[in-house]
A and B are shown apart, each in its own frame.
Chain A
Amino acid sequence: MKREELIRSVEYWLTKFQIKLFNKVNDYIKKNNLNRDKFAKQLGVSKGYVSQILNGNADHRMSKFIELSLAIGLVPTISFESIDDFIQRDLQSDRSALLMDIKKSKQIVRDAGYLLSEKPVNEYIYHDTPSEDWSNIDTTSDNNFFSMAS
């Protein structure tokens, strides 16, 4: 399954909606020490309706959904975005998450007392002394590209 195929599907958004609604109603029921029966009575709806929500299968009319939101003390806020913009943002957020992970990993390695390069990897690949030519490395001068963790 491709990420884009998933995002462009009805099932992805419907399921997101159903599970978010389940979590909100479930939280409300727990917080107020209710059970399905009591909650149904409080709302003036059938037990079956509550069960559908708590099973993550809610697929009701908009008016019912708004009624339910208000009954649990919430207002539904809805926003719309172009699919292409969303997919682009989704892709970027994944990349930035990866970068964040790399930075965190570097910090952990540094904290553990390992030597770590501050220079981007591609600079090493294209401009640095070939690793086999050890004789050219100046070990006496300060090397700005390396730092020792405290």
Chain B
Amino acid sequence: MRTFTSETIKAIRGRLVFKKLLINEKCLLDQFEESIKGTPYESEMRSIYTYMEFVANNTLLPRTKLNVIKKCYGKQKCYEFKSKNLRVYAFSITGGKVIVLGGNKSNQVKDIRQLKSILKDIIESNQLNKL
């Protein structure tokens, strides 16, 4: 069974807490950030972090920057933060959001499938309230 934990993202300040998901102590977001280090995508990632900070402060974002994926698992909604080439996926918890993974636009379908599978595992193993 996969174990899910979370860590607060300290780069984001706001009324809502933003956390990153750890699966068996490994963070998919950190892995993605590592993979784009030194590429032009690094600057897009900084824009996405800024979008997340706006959400953390309950500020409206254009639909081109934040997309809601309805019924990700059951009634649970998921969120897709968007830049020109990157996507970052999250879901809501009480008082904040948990970032699950990041990816390239070209891998969107595969990444959303992975997001849904992870969320399903979290909910079915009753680990949502531990995050």
Interface residues in chain A, defined as those with a beta carbon under 8 Å from any beta carbon in chain B? 1-3, 5-6, 9-12, 14-16, 19, 22-23, 26, 54-57, 90, 93-94
Interface residues in chain B, defined as those with a beta carbon under 8 Å from any beta carbon in chain A? 9-11, 13, 33, 43-47, 49-51, 54, 59-62, 64-65
Contact B11 A6 (CB under 8 A): yes
* 8 Å CB contact of B47 from A2, A15, A23, A26: A15
Residues on B with C-beta less than 8 A from A6 are: 11, 46, 49-50
Contact B54 A1 (CB under 8 A): no
Contact A2 B43 (CB under 8 A): no
Contact A54 B62 (CB under 8 A): yes
Please list 17 pairs of residues, one from A and one from B, whose beta carbons are closer than 8 Å in the complex, sorted by A's number.
A1-B45, A1-B46, A5-B46, A6-B11, A6-B49, A9-B46, A11-B46, A11-B47, A12-B49, A14-B47, A15-B46, A16-B50, A19-B50, A22-B61, A23-B60, A55-B64, A56-B64
Residues on A with C-beta less than 8 A from B61 are: 19, 22, 56
Given contacts A19-B59, A22-B62, A55-B62, whether A11 and B50 have CB atoms under 8 Å apart is: yes
Given contacts A3-B11, A55-B62, whether A15 and B43 have CB atoms under 8 Å apart is: no
Number of cross-chain contacts by CB at 8 Å:
59
Residues on A with C-beta less than 8 A from B54 are: 19
* CA A23 to CA B65, docked complex, whole Å: 13
Contact B13 A90 (CB under 8 A): yes
Return A83 CB to nearest CB of chain B, in Å: 15
* 8 Å CB contact of A1 from B33, B44, B51, B65: B33
Residues on A with C-beta less than 8 A from B62 are: 19, 22, 54-56
Residues on B with C-beta less than 8 A from A56 are: 61-62, 64-65
Given contacts A26-B60, A55-B64, A56-B62, whether A9 and B43 have CB atoms under 8 Å apart is: yes
Return A108 CB to nearest CB of chain B, in Å: 14
Closest 8 CB pairs of A and B: A15-B50, A11-B46, A56-B62, A55-B64, A1-B11, A11-B47, A3-B11, A9-B46
